[in-house]
Amino acid sequence: MSSVLSVKDLVFGYPGQAAVLDAISFKVQRGERVGLIGPNGAGKTTLFLLICGIVSAESGKVEISGIPVLKGRFNPAVGMVFQHTADQLICPTVSEDIAFGPQNMGLSVEEVAGNVNRAAGATGIIPLLERVPHQLSSGEQRLVALAGVLAMQPELLILDEPTADLDMRYRRRLVGMLKSMEQKTMLTASHDLEFILEVCTRVIVLNQGVIQADGEPVTVMANRCLMEEHGLELPHSLTAAWHRHGTETDCS
Amino acid sequence: MIAPYSTAIPESNLLSRWEVRHKLIGLMALIFSFSFIRELRLLPLVILVSVVIYSLSQLSFAYYWSRIRLPGLFLLMLALILPFSAGNTVLASFGPLALKLEGTLSVLLIAVKFLCIFAIVLVLFAGTPLQKIVGALRSLGLPALLAEMLIFTNRYIYQLITDLRQTQVATGLRGFKGRSVKALKPLAYIVGTLLVRSHNQSERVFQAMTLRGYGEESLVLKAEQVQIFDRLALAAALLLATGFVFLQLNFFPAS
Amino acid sequence: MHIPDGILPVSVALSGYAAAGGLTWLSLNRIKKKFKNPRELIPRASLLTAAFFVAALIHIPVPPTSVHLILSGLMGVILGWFAFPAILVGLFFQAVMFQHGGLTTMGINACLMGIPALLAGALFRTRRYFGVNNKVTNGLLAFLGSFLALVSGALAAALLLIYTITAQLDVAAERAAIITLAGAHLPVALLEGVFTALVVLFLLRVKPELLEMEEK
């Protein structure tokens, strides 16, 4: 399997402060859905900005499908859905907004239309195509932003807190949609640990600039001591299992 | 690019401790008196006063230099045009261009005045939090509606700048470069979106504030205690300002 | 066009303050007459003022370079009478944050931008004679209002500068200087006109109420 994302010895920090990312390395293979968890300030969003080429690292390498990421260079191979989706939607209609990315890629009118329809179909928002994005609910806006990114057919999809301010209905819809996108390589950061459990095939715990754990979601996230040590807690669905099978172990 | 508004002058500094209304009146009077000067021979005095006040503020030259670059561009333009277009006495010729005395002296007068006024403006604003300036203006007669607009607008400028930056990053990630004429429509969409989001947010802000009693009474800003130092400093500034006007009118009435 | 400190005579600067003071009083008066509780509008007017301030920071491409737009025409269209206090607030923040634009000349600059803005707003409101939702009318009136706002502002600023800086320019040189200064603003005025029309057409589709604040 080829790695879609390769991060090697990545270092990033602000002058006079401890490193936000301290020589982290990991790879994401094609088709993997990786969840990134950790406390606030762990560097998850910073990592995304580095992968997208919005900021540049002090040292280390980031490659998408073997090609180095360059700061400021447009790279449609990576698509990111921001936590605050309102920042991402600028066009008067949903269809124009989804078309924005493919148009900037220089695709033909037919190709753009095709991409828009496919992305809208995948996210289930075809009925919303002529609506005004800012009049939609936050759940609908999230799906529009996702469609806008999917329309560029990225190799790597990054989702920053995708279930933030979603009601249960849209959360279920998003979970179902992401699980159905089996071929999509995905990297997501979320405090919604149940979401990570449901959707991701692998989880990475990031804290104090370093990768603290990397493995199967159930294995990593069922480790109460590990989770609590890094400012997290057991997902509720694993708490019951812990009580049934585990003993109250002293984590010190 | 834009840092949140902060005072660059330490609180312990004399000029920081000068009561705001007195400082506003004193320094504005001085600025206007500088503006009144038309005689080149008074410029050394103007420069001296500006340098002394700027030094008292403990602001660095680097700070002055960093702030003057953008506004200074207009001055540069004037400096390139006026000496070659205004006046009759030719100082030197460069082909079709003739450097004229009157134009050159005009530029000198404007430039020195601008640079000195700029120093005083920096001292005024770098040394005073916005809330206090608005409070002082309000007590000096600024309508309540304007005062409230100033406070609210200041509150939201930084947030909107952050929102705009995020939007620029997000559109950049979707391939938008904003460098050709084709970028005009998306940029118009971005500005339109900014306006729509601001309008929507303002409704929420108004509702939240009404729940906390907004609308019952106008913004109340605390008046500061006035010390003798404040009055003396104001008197000194007014004396200087009057002095400049007096000198200009009585000794150089023709200029 | 902002006129910085040190160039205009004090008499002109003070007249500018007087005129700006008068126009502010007039605007506030109109606002109080039109709206039962004008303080309700402060969050909206302030947020929009902040939005305009921030929008003016955007680089608009004019190959090979880029410019910052003034958007006074757009402010007139959307804010109506609130445009004048909004412009004054915007100029104040420019002076406080960037020390750009002039403190002694704030009154004059407010008039140079504010009066054309109010007129652009008034011109835009004639759209009710042609159908409030008519795209062509909206676009055209927005373009014209903004374009004329900028041209008149630049012309007035040029005239002011030429006649006050020095009395030693001969008539021909004066005329040439005015034409050059004002002429240099024509491309930017066209750009502002087009840009304002695009924003207005966007708002017509997305949130037409923003264009109707003054019509209620």
The third-level CATH classification (topology) of the domain covering C10-211 is Arp2/3 complex 21 kDa subunit ARPC3 (1.10.1760)
Chain A nearest-CA distance from C205, in A, is 7
Q: What digits encode the pLDDT tens for the residues B154-191?
A: 888 988 999 999 999 999 999 998 888 889 999 999 99
Predicted ipTM?
Answer: 0.91
Sequence-distant (6+) residues with CB within 8 A of B118 are: B64, B67, B68, B71, C5, C99
Q: Are residues B29 and B67 in the same domain?
A: yes
**What is the rounded distance in angstroms from the CA atom of residue C74 to the CA atom of residue C142?**
8
Q: What is the rounded average pLDDT of the residues B33-49?
A: 93
pTM value is 0.87
Count of domains observed in chain A: 1
Q: Are residues B170 and B192 in the same domain?
A: yes
Lowest-pLDDT choice from A223-227, A234-238, B125-129, C44-48? B125-129
pLDDT at A250 over 80: no
Tokens 């795209």 found at: C135
Range of the domain at B148: 143-211
pLDDT at A200 over 70: yes
Q: What is the rounded average pLDDT of the residues B100-122?
A: 89
pLDDT at B32 over 90: yes
Q: Is C163 an interface residue toward A (CB < 8 Å)?
A: no
Q: Are residues B168 and B123 in the same domain?
A: no
Determine whether the interchain pair A134/C202 forms a contact, defined as Cβ–Cβ distance below 8 Å. Answer: no
Assess if residue A184 is contained within a domain. Answer: yes
Determine whether the interchain pair B215/C14 forms a contact, defined as Cβ–Cβ distance below 8 Å. Answer: no
Highest mean pLDDT out of A115-129, B54-68, C88-102: A115-129
Assess if residue B219 is contained within a domain. Answer: no
pLDDT at B45 over 90: yes
Q: What was the pLDDT predicted at B3?
A: 45
Return the SS3 of A96: helix
Q: What digits encode the pLDDT tens for the residues A72-103?
A: 888 899 999 999 999 899 999 999 999 999 99
Assess if residue A225 is contained within a domain. Answer: no
Tell me the chain B residues in contact with residue C48 when contact means C-beta distances shorter than 8 Å.
Answer: 195, 198-199, 202
Assess if residue B89 is contained within a domain. Answer: yes
Q: What digits encode the pLDDT tens for the residues B201-226?
A: 888 887 787 777 665 445 555 667 78
CA B63, B66, B69, B70 dihedral sign is: negative
- The CA-based dihedral angle spanning residues B194, B195, B197, B199, taken in that order and rounded to the nearest 10 degrees: 160
Assess if residue A234 is contained within a domain. Answer: no
pLDDT band per the 50, 70, 90 thresholds, residue C3:
confident
Mean pLDDT of chain A: 90
Range of the domain at A151: 3-217
Give the CATH number of the domain where residue A150 resides.
3.40.50.300
Assess if residue B165 is contained within a domain. Answer: yes
Q: Is C60 an interface residue toward B (CB < 8 Å)?
A: yes
pLDDT at B90 over 70: yes
Q: Are residues B132 and B148 in the same domain?
A: no
Determine whether the interchain pair A132/C205 forms a contact, defined as Cβ–Cβ distance below 8 Å. Answer: yes
Q: What is the rounded average pLDDT of the residues A158-172?
A: 91
- The CA-based dihedral angle spanning residues A72, A73, A74, A77, taken in that order and rounded to the nearest 10 degrees: -110
Tell me the chain A residues in contact with residue B192 when contact means C-beta distances shorter than 8 Å.
Answer: 92
Q: What was the pLDDT predicted at B5?
A: 45
Assess if residue A249 is contained within a domain. Answer: no
Chain A nearest-CA distance from B182, in A, is 10
Q: Are residues B66 and B100 in the same domain?
A: yes
What is the share, in percent, of chain B residues with pLDDT greater than 70?
Answer: 92
Chain B nearest-CA distance from A246, in A, is 45
pLDDT band per the 50, 70, 90 thresholds, residue B135:
confident
Please tell me which of the candidates C4, C28, C47 has its beta carbon nearest to residue B202: C47
More confident residue, C177 or C124: C124
Alpha carbon distances (Å) from B224 to B22, B125, B220, C90: 11, 18, 13, 27
Tell me the chain B residues in contact with residue A72 when contact means C-beta distances shorter than 8 Å.
Answer: 172
Count of domains observed in chain B: 2
Please tell me which of the candidates C6, C191, C198 has its beta carbon nearest to residue B185: C198
Q: Is A181 an interface residue toward B (CB < 8 Å)?
A: no
Q: What was the pLDDT predicted at B1?
A: 40
Q: Are residues B108 and B205 in the same domain?
A: no
Assess if residue B6 is contained within a domain. Answer: no
Residues 7-36 of C with CB under 8 A from A: none
Assess if residue A251 is contained within a domain. Answer: no
Q: Is C42 an interface residue toward B (CB < 8 Å)?
A: yes
Structure token digits, residue A214? 């990397």
Assess if residue A250 is contained within a domain. Answer: no
